[in-house]
A and B are shown apart, each in its own frame.
Chain A
Amino acid sequence: MTAENTLREEPKPVLSINKWKFITWLFIITIVMLFASQTSAYLVRRAEGNWTEFEMPQIFYWSTLVLFLSSVMVFLSVRAARSDEFKKLRAFISGAFVLGTAFLIMQYIGWQQLQETGIYLKGNPSGSFLYILTGLHAFHLISGLVVLVFALAASFKMNIHSKKMIQLEVCSTYWHFLDILWIYLFVFLLYFR
């Protein structure tokens, strides 16, 4: 949503979906394909044998909960914005950001726990895949945090309110997606160790 776009006459939309939401969904599809290819590569490689089993670090259970809570925060912030409660809105977005950061820190601690149990990036592909999958998700989560920061800045400039929800809605779609993506990865890794 750049300044240039609002200045010139926009083409009239035919469908009732906002183009930025549509772009977000297409972007999400590309990320889905990225992780689908990674997890299917994981399965193909695992089926070939010579596969070291690993224990999931305990902290990953807690980080899952933290990320879920941050998703709830984003959900609440959308509700707050719809009813123009700006203090709540800012509080919830900040909360989501803090929890998201906490999630990243917990993932990092999880990696350290993995190394203590002798699973490194180098070595059997099972461990390498674990680092790649969690790392790739963490990378996308950082991009999600950037989106959250922009939403937070917009909420301070009073650019998000009940009549102007697109930015926050796009942000929440992306954040919920990252949450669901992690839950998928977590269950996947638990099930196919």
Chain B
Amino acid sequence: MSTAAAAHVEHGHEEHHDLGFIRSYIFSEDHKVIAKQYLISGIIWAVIGGLMSLVFRLQLGFPDMDMSWLKPFLGQWINESGKLDANFYLALVTMHGTIMVFFVLTAGLSGTFSNFLIPLQIGARDMASGFMNMLSYWFFFISSVIMFWSIFIETGPAGGGWVIYPPLSALAEANPGSGTGMTLWLVSMALFIVSSLLGGINYVTTVINLRTKGMTFDKMPLTIWAFTFTAILGILSFPVLLSAALLLIFDRSFGTSFFLSDIYINGHALPNQGGSPILFQHLFWFLGHPEVYIVILPALGLTSEIIATNSRKPIFGYKAMIFSMAGIMFLAFIVWAHHMFMTGMNPFLGSVFMLLTLIIAVPSAVKAFNYITTLWRGNIIFTPAMLFAIGLVSFFVSGGLTGIILGNSALDIQLHDTYFVVAHFHLVMGSAAFFGMIGGVYHWFPKMFGKMMNKTLGYVHFWFTFIGVYLVFFPMHYIGIAGFPRRYYQWSGFETFNTYADLNAFISVAAILTFSAQLIFIFNFIYSIFWGKKATANPWKSTTLEWTTPVNPGHGNWPGEIPTVYRWPYDYSKPGAKEDFIPQDVPYSATPESNLPEENEMISEEKEIENIEYNHNIPD
């Protein structure tokens, strides 16, 4: 079967069962609709989180500024003299972190692309359980509503940092946000964890159980590998966060002392005895560290696909990519204490965690190397998606290098909790994952909405964002090395830091410009959904299965039979081949001109693959 011909058969609309508006677009069990729901929720959250960062960047960059003009939005959080409330500043930082890490880069990234691409790329009609998938989105939605609500309560949202360390988060007296705001935060996160687990369980089950004929593990696209590893990380680490949150809830509401001990407030001792705040940090970072890989791995997976397609070259080191992701996943669980070098831990233990942390540089470097060697002498097509993918590699390298510095427990004494850390994780995890997500949207937009996004606006968006991100985060390294601590409301009280007033103002201006550039993307996104140019079924000449579906894949994805897979997903520019790509569902017997000797031998196996009969006695 020639894909080019099959791809142009339009069956899309006949496949829709008549479910009515609510079942098709709101409480939908179709993975493509759920993916779009996640994407749009993620974009809304990203705007909210981004605006929050602008408010506190204004405070940091221009501490003397009169912010009265923000009063219509922030109300009582701007006091009479036009100053931002200090406690609200802490709440903004906390909410910015929570929103970006969990709601945008976990739900918005994994939720969108795992849902969208897993069934399409492995050749399945839908997820293993559409119902669980729907439940996963609606748990996320309720969790979002609660988190959003917490922004508007009188005492403000949680303000103890996104890591919610006790006793700051455990005692309502500690900070205005530690009262109701913190309670809502915990409820919202508990629901978020349920949502992530439902999603993750579904992703792994789908990948293991529902692959099409011939889609063996060694023929899976790297995106699917990345999503699978991400889901496994989530399944293993989110319950631990739930554990920590549960004990914290008991400390807050039921008077237990898991994390509290020897605390005096205004000279009065609290009754809590025998708790350990460090215990919370262990529990939190056992999730918290895998969480950063939950954020970055899907972005790396998307990048692999985009770079291979637009370099018109097979991905360099397919197996090395899989093993390095597996290595990162494994190491993710045994490095958590590098966030805790300053907690007074045993220095020997510190050096063990330091060693394990530095080992992560090896699989990460393998990945960066493989991306660059895939680009090397490729026929590179600079689509907006490709530019964002290359941007990801750039951030992954420049942010990763500072990771090696921070991973040293001796250097961490100086750099801990300074802007150096902020610069590091915003580059390697924040911006890199964000670029992966945006690149993914540009690349898979034609399959999601059947339209093309405007290229020119894409280029403008890319260059403003790419340069903007470096202008924001690069100077932060200097401020950090100088010792300026993160999370401080104001630095002008310290004579030492006055030298950095200009640099801070510069960062703030760059941040405002970078954020404004995102409006170009949002305009392009909405405009293209409605008025974009119609897409073809396979606009990027890509090999994977999702491009063999019609332009607007209907319910069940393929109008006829699900295609059978014969080859790996990276047959680009194969010597001898008629075109510079051979889709995965083209058998070797159809391409005698480009087959390698061992591939000719595999022709005899094709009949076997086609004749695979699944055991229909297994009921679903």
Contacts and interface: CB of A to CB of B under 8 A. Distances in A.
* A and B interact: yes
Interface of A: 1-2, 4-6, 8-20, 22-23, 26-27, 29-31, 33-34, 37-38, 41, 44-45, 48, 50-51, 121-125, 128-129, 132, 136, 164, 166
Interface in B165-220: 197, 200-202, 204-205, 208-213, 215
Interface residues of B, number: 58
19 contacts: A1-B620, A2-B131, A5-B620, A8-B556, A18-B618, A18-B620, A19-B209, A23-B202, A26-B204, A26-B205, A27-B197, A27-B201, A37-B243, A41-B282, A44-B276, A51-B274, A121-B254, A121-B256, A122-B256
Nearest to A20: B620
B125 interface: yes
Interface string B1-43: 0000000000000000100000000000100000000000000
Given A15-B208, A15-B209, A30-B239, A4 B620 contact: no
B614 A23 contact: no
Contacts of B213: 12
Contact of B236 (A14, A22, A33): A33
B201 A14 contact: no
B556 A33 contact: no
B256 A30 contact: no
A21 to B, nearest CB: 9
Given A34-B240, A41-B283, A125-B256, A19 B205 contact: yes
A80 to B, nearest CB: 19
Interface in B251-296: 254-258, 271, 273-276, 279, 282-283, 286
A1 B620 CA distance: 8
A23 B255 CA distance: 37
Interface in B130-165: 130-132
A15 B216 CA distance: 11
Contacts of B488: none
B128 A132 contact: no
Contact of B125 (A11, A22, A23): A11
Interface of B: 17, 29, 119, 124-126, 128-132, 197, 200-202, 204-205, 208-213, 215, 235-240, 242-244, 246-247, 250, 254-258, 271, 273-276, 279, 282-283, 286, 555-556, 562, 614-615, 618-620
B250 A44 contact: no
Contacts of A15: 208-209
B239 A26 contact: no
A14 B123 CA distance: 11
Contacts of B556: 8-9
3 shortest interchain CB distances as A-B pairs: A33-B239, A34-B239, A11-B124
A123 B254 CA distance: 11
A153 to B, nearest CB: 18
Contact of B128 (A19, A38, A45, A166): A19
B237 to A, nearest CB: 8
Contacts of B201: 23, 26-27, 30
Contacts of B125: 8-11
B286 to A, nearest CB: 7
Given A50-B274, A125-B257, A23 B205 contact: yes
B256 A18 contact: no
